[in-house]
A and B are shown apart, each in its own frame.
Chain A
Amino acid sequence: MGGGKTIGDVVLDLQGISLSFGGVRALQDVTFDVREHEVRAIIGPNGAGKSSMLNVINGVYHPQQGTVSYLGAKRHDVNTHEAAVQGIARTFQNIALFKGMSVLDNIMTGRNLRMKSGLLAQAFRLPSAEREELEHREAVEQVIDFLEIQAHRKTPVGRLPYGLQKRVDLARALAMEPKLLLLDEPMAGMNVEEKQDMCRFILDVNDQFGTTIVLIEHDMGVVMDISDRVIVLDYGKKIGDGTPDEIRGNQAVIDAYLGVSH
């Protein structure tokens, strides 16, 4: 998979992560790593703790135990803002777009971290602010072209069909030019054609920009097709970790997950 790409060093390393909400143990002693340029899938039945894992990675949740190292440095309770600054972007399981804004503005928010002009410069639309806005508009237009949503630029996101909203969610994350992209069920609720498009986009992002991707997905065909390595969670515990072929042959996984129909 992944054409001629070369998988690099470990960029993200999670050791013994445990997270609980009151009595619910969402993650129990989970250890795994993500290597540069790879597509790393997280699979598991509903409620297995997959989304919680992503939330730990980008600082929405803080695990009670365990350590997260990112780019070689140990992190202590990073918040979401710091994670964003460090180049971690994500999409959401339940689309979390800014409903009152156009597609273009939604994607432009992905550039907010990089936009520096001050309040007065913006209010008076000084040439510096205008130039900055244009620069970032151009970057955003590239993302728009890449994801083929040119026709919807000015549409309020709420009016788009579901599949396109998912795409805008991805566009907003890509506008951040992330090093690490976390995708929470990017293909859920899509028809076959939309899924194929989405697969192609994910692989292209991975190939062309070299972005490392962590992906949660329920569609086994998709997962086996596009990921380099897969981790399997069940009731918050890791029960499998390896290449798609290894996972296919793993008895514990078959029992816990593949055997169960959804």
Chain B
Amino acid sequence: MLYRENGQFKTSYRADQQMLPILQDRIFMGLLLVFVFVVAPFVFSNYFFLSILIPFLILALAALGLNLLVGYCGQISIGHAAFMSVGAYAAYNLVLRVPQLNFLVVLVLAGLIAALVGLLFGIPSLRIRGLYLAVATLAAQFFMDWVFARVKWFTNYAPSGSVSTATIDIFGFQINSPVRKYLFLAAVVTVFAILAKNLVRSHLGRAWMAMRDMDVAAEVIGIRPVYAKLTAFAVSSFYVGVAGALWGFVHLGSWEPLAFSITLSLNLLFMIIIGGMGSILGSFFGAFFIVALPILLNRAPDWLGIHLSTAMVSHLESMIFGALIIFFLIVEPQGLARLWSIGKEKLRLWPFPH
């Protein structure tokens, strides 16, 4: 079917304000959901679920959270893995200390706790911006790393500092196999993506973007920087906190404080740079890219009949990442999502070149 919006006249503003006003987009989204929830569970191997889809979904959620802050509100953070760790340890302690809580409630509470911490570390953004803010958020990273390594209560006095979790049980449904984990995550991430989409097409989202694009003008029309920036930090940290809890409970199962180090923070940033700043879809592209590329690089030489040492592969990985990040920063700051929308635009005009 052709991708056109011509002829799809909106007879009301309500119709024009739908989440996906163009029919073909709705069909695409519908097919995607059918694929994700109906087809995918039957076609992929356990290996594919465990090493690609599960980490992809969780990191996409985290990248989405970071994107709300960086891509939509224009506030930089290079310490976001810290808020993931807050979410993960909050969930761990909630499950440990209040075992009767439903895991969905635990997730929301873990998110809220991370939101509160994120809000606190967002306060400097009211005064400083750019590089200085980046450094302030880096403080969050080191502070949280320190807290979870040193304050033993958080890790329940485990001698090694590593914690482990039991299988998640939601209303008697055990999240214990790769397929079940995948389906659970897909459901959670779908809901959160819809909520994020709703936020960015509402007045709060517009306040964030206004802050990002021209803060003086935003203030002059009555948008309060304090409100816009702090809500962005809180919502972003909420998302990232939930992702952290999922990373700990669903993906890792057991972890040490190092699991949420600065490397993870930087990876999240790379995801939104490559995927696309200020794009929800882009967060997914970026996460997929970062999860899939190393695996692809590991396997591609074999397929091509070339033998490379592991060290060589990991060097190659760093080099390709570095090159891509520089490429996107210079050539296409809006990342893969932009390439996607250029593609759609071409399709819309096809077969005419302009």
**CB within 8 Å of B: which residues of A?**
58, 60, 79-81, 83-85, 89-90, 92, 96-101, 105, 108-113, 115, 117, 119, 122-125, 129-130, 133-134, 137-138, 141, 172-173, 176
Contacts and interface: CB of A to CB of B under 8 A. Distances in A.
Contact of B204 (A96, A110, A111, A122): A122
Given A109-B210, A119-B199, 4 more contacts: A98-B213, A109-B206, A112-B222, A122-B205
Contact of A119 (B196, B217, B231): B231
Contact of A176 (B14, B202, B221, B278): B221
Given A89-B221, A97-B217, A133-B17, A111 B203 contact: yes
Given A96-B217, A172-B221, A137 B13 contact: yes
Contacts of B14: 130, 134
Contact of B203 (A98, A112, A123, A124): A112
A80 B220 contact: yes
Nearest to A157: B213
B209 A100 contact: yes
B241 to A, nearest CB: 16
Interface string B7-32: 00000011001000000000000000
B206 A108 contact: yes
Main secondary structure of the interface of B (DSSP, over half): helix
Contacts of B17: 130, 133-134, 137
B197 to A, nearest CB: 9
A200 B278 CA distance: 37
B202 A84 contact: no
Contacts of B204: 119, 122
Residue among A81, A110, A129, A138 with the highest chain B CB neighbour number at 10 A = A81
B220 A84 contact: yes
Contact of A109 (B195, B218, B224): B218
Contacts of A101: 206, 209-210, 213
Nearest to B12: A134
B214 A96 contact: yes
Given A100-B278, A123-B195, A137-B13, A112 B206 contact: yes
